[in-house]
Amino acid sequence: MLLRILLCFFCCSFGAAGTPILGGADAEHRKFNHQASLQEITTNNEHFCGGSIISSIWILTAAHCVDCERIRNDIKRIRIVVGVTHLSENGDKYLVRSSKLHEKWNKENISNDIALLKTAKNIKFSSAVQPVILATHDPPDGVITTLTGWGFTSDDEGLVSNTLQVAYFEKISLKECRKQFNDAQYPGRLVIETNICITQPVAKGQCNGDSGGPLMYNGTQIGIVSFGGQCGEGVPGVMTNIAKFLKWIKDKTNISQLKQLSKIYLRLSLNSSITLTKIPQTAI
């Protein structure tokens, strides 16, 4: 999997732009049931970014995925597709009612790269569709994280993957991450305290189409795909750090009991016959 974002030249871009996973493997069918595909409603309904389900009406993604004029002017150009491993599957589709970008989102240095999409109707949960548990703290450096996405699997072909890809990467320190970016001479790309970095060997990692998707560790989402270098270049992948923005997420979604609800989600995921519609929607 190669996850790439070239500053904001590719913000809201489709087809040839985005961020996919190079060197990944096909994901197990419906294993990553929190994963969402952001698609522009066109003739081909093209996938352009990833996202994750965090409640019955909210999708978490990257700000750069939705910060372009045509999307800002008409957020209803986006549809959310969930419950699929293959983009060609007939998954559950939801229109977007509204969006919330972080107030301090900066497209020049790609900081505070986080956004929320509110669906026009409640997402129906099942064994194939579940909200993700959000991390409340950072895991230590050196742990192995899990990255998933439908991004490019080859930088040469310029096509997103039909099958969700999965790959595993070591979390590295921000100090080491900054050093590698400085050595690679990427001016303007700031690795700051609200980021998480993963090491990516040459020809493997995030790429176009992976942006906005989840980085996971120990069953929780710890990051949102934000930026990197050229696909397969070997520089780290940089994520938005979920734990650093947990209060912002709660404030913008009115999810006041996020930690408690996450435990409920986990229990319900064991029983596909139960849905979260039994939880008061005012809490979700």
What is the mean pLDDT of the segment spanning 43-72?
A: 92
State the DSSP code for 27: P
| Higher-confidence position of 135 and 13 | 135
- Say yes or no: 121 and 150 in one domain: no
- Say yes or no: 78 and 170 in one domain: no
- Say yes or no: 97 and 173 in one domain: no
- Say yes or no: 127 and 255 in one domain: yes
Cα of first residue to Cα of last residue in the chain, in angstroms, is: 33
- Say yes or no: 217 and 77 in one domain: no
| Higher-confidence position of 284 and 26 | 26
Active site residue 211: yes
Helix or strand or coil: residue 250? helix
- Say yes or no: 148 and 234 in one domain: yes
- Say yes or no: 230 and 149 in one domain: yes
Domain coverage including residue 74: 30-131+245-268
Active site residue 64: yes
- Say yes or no: 254 and 223 in one domain: no
- Say yes or no: 52 and 79 in one domain: yes
- Relative orientation angle of helices 258-268 and 246-253, to the nearest 10 degrees: 80
pLDDT at residue 256, rounded to an integer: 63
Q: Is residue 203 part of a domain?
A: yes
Domain CATH for 195: 2.40.10.10
Furthest CA-CA distance within the chain: 53
Active site residue 113: yes
Per annotation, catalytic residue among 47, 56, 102, 113: 113
Flag whether pLDDT at 257 surpasses 80: no
- Say yes or no: 36 and 84 in one domain: yes
Q: What percent of the chain has pLDDT over 90?
A: 59
